[in-house]
Amino acid sequence: MRNVIGLLVFLYVAFAGSGARGQVSSGAEWPNYGNDPGGMRYSALTQINRDNVSKLRVAWIFHTGDVSDGSGGRKRSGFEATPILVDGSLYFTTPFNRVIALDPETGKQRWAYDPEIDKTLDYGDGLVNRGVSTWLDSARLADQQCHRRVYEATQDARLISLDALTGKPCLDFGDSGQVSLRDVPGYRAGWYHMTSPPAVIGDLIVVGSAINDNQLATMPSGVVRAFDVRSGALRWSWDPIPNASPSSRSKDTTGSDPAAKADQENVEQRTGAANAWSIMAVDPQRDLIFVPTGSASPDYFGGLRRGDNKWANSVVALHAKTGTIAWGFQLVHHDLWDYDSAPQPLLATLRRDTHDVPVVIQGNKTGLLYVLNRDTGKPVFPVEERRVPQSDVPGELASPTQPFPLAPPPLAAQKISAEDAWGPTQQDRDTCLAWVKTLRNEGIFTPPSLQGTLVMPGNLGGMTWSGYAFDPQHSLLIVNTNNLVAKIKLIPRADFSRRDARAEDGEYSPQTGAPYGLFRRFLQSPSGLPCTAPPWGLLTAVDMNEGKIRWQLPLGSMQDFGGKHPPILPGSISLGGPIVTAGGLVFIAATFDPFFRAFDIETGKELWKAQLPASGHATPMTYRLAASGKQFVVIAAGSHPKISEESLGDALVAFTLP
């Protein structure tokens, strides 16, 4: 009976399409970064389930060899890729942008392509890339070259098309298989790059960009561009801030944003970025592509970019054929905290008042989660504008209000008091307490200041690019979040170059062109641990029909972070997201401690964990090649480039049942 029920569930989910519970990929492949085009990260496979997951063992390990420790003029590397499985092959990218195809049962390499990027450029987040996309050309026979194409967007700003069978460039695409993405005003090698897989919809391949933070007031354009999948010809471009200074920005070629035309920002702005550096989602039936955007430049001073800065810090639905706006929703007005819309938008269907409602789920670094109607962009759960603290920095005009969803509740801490200062020893606690007392601290959205502001969550807090996964059987959203506090301080331009003004340990950025430079750091005690009590990372299940938390638990441990400490409670910062399966499981690595874990999706109980060769800061995936074959779960284990306490790695690890 269990087998019969499992088969019925599999068939229902596999062929439901965009019906009662969302868009679910049929079959046992994993053809997109988030499995289905809408990024649910859900698999209908049940061979690995609650009853047997404790028996999972390593099936194979593949070492890429692409590791950089930051020496020799290179940035540090991190292995953040999520492989895809199509047509019986695994495809993924390495930190050096090499594309590799593997046999998914044995882990043996079939081919590798090296675009030979310059590894010494100043890529802001280090040497990382999160994966590839594919497109099947139905006009070509299966044995013809480039019948299926594999696309990657590189760190040095190229879009490359490869034949999936051989790994050779598709010569009819652009210039001998590649298109330059460097044709943006203000382009500077390294500062303008790509870290996420492009999106494919219809006969278009769509790319955003990653742009370094806080170097200039007028950073390069955050333009989103669509190219023909066969020829590489530019089909359209869309600029999130079309009224920015033409000296630093490209123009909005769609000319279709009535909201921006009516906005007070219709004067020229000295800004840039607002770029889509994370993963996009697509809805082929509606011909919509959903774009998550980051903050406008510079991140922490907005005096040169007055108004809300639409469409920065937003999720925007674009008509895929034309690039024109269908609707947009801004999660943060006039961002002063680096609160990017970092996760991939997630497309699902929820049950609301006896009706099935297609939605877009979008979170950001605030830890707030917004649920929007997929057709209109209107909030499904109410959102209210609340007054927030105002800036006391000369020249700054902060937004008087910010949008707060009434449900679900915040998934990360929104404020701390001086009494919350923490450390593993009394000396650590006293140091943290002294720091917190000196900072402006009025809760979330307290603006940056000249004296120093406590920011909670910090820019690595809340929901990062790790994103979330949705289980359509239980209408549960699984989210990993960070509780990490930061200090932000603006330094007047006349003082920024003085050594005594830059004596504190942390990150200093010039914000050239603005009247203030920037200092920022995470508040860590002398022990290296955060100045707030654990857990610093949580795994949460949200009932998306009700907008309520079903369960929440600390994820991982930071016991040995920065050295040996007295025993501390669990809960680690995490980078890398979850997946869910019809076997009733949540799989996630992501934490500082190098473990891969499985949880019961209904209760949150940990059912299995395995130690990885290095921390797994990537989103896993799962597949089964045939009905009679084995189900595999795969995770990249290669550490994170910004966490120097972690051991470097280059392993792609596959698990299966014995």
What per-residue confidence (pLDDT) applies to 276?
98
What per-residue confidence (pLDDT) applies to 283?
98
State the total domains in the chain.
Answer: 1
Minimal CA–CA distance to 175: which of 112, 105, 231? 231
Helices (H), 423-542: 426-438, 493-496
Distance of alpha carbon 469 from the chain centroid: 12
What per-residue confidence (pLDDT) applies to 21?
39
Q: Which residue range is the domain that position 468 belongs to?
A: 2-656
d(CA 445, CA 384): 15
Which phi and psi (to 5°) does residue 12 adopt?
-60, -50
Torsion (CA) 319, 289, 212, 366 in degrees, nearest 10 = 110
Catalytic residue among 239, 338, 340, 428: 338
Write the burial class of residue 409 (CB in 10 Å: 0-12 exposed, 13-18 middle, 19+ buried): middle
pLDDT along the chain (658 residues), means of 10: 42 37 59 98 97 98 96 93 97 98 98 96 93 96 95 98 98 98 92 97 97 94 97 97 57 37 52 96 98 97 96 98 98 98 97 93 98 98 98 97 98 93 94 95 97 96 96 97 96 92 92 96 94 96 97 96 91 97 98 97 98 97 92 96 89 98
What per-residue confidence (pLDDT) applies to 268?
61
Please report, in angstroms and rounded to a whole number, the separation of the first and last CA atoms in the chain. Answer: 24
SS3 of residue 613 by DSSP: coil
Q: How far is CA 302 from CA 100, 113, 307, 447, in A?
A: 42, 42, 9, 11
What per-residue confidence (pLDDT) applies to 353?
86
HEC profile for 125-158?
CCECCCCCEEEECCCCCCCCCCCEEEEEECCCCE
Annotated active-site residue 338? The verdict is yes
CATH number of the domain that 500 lies in?
A: 2.140.10.10
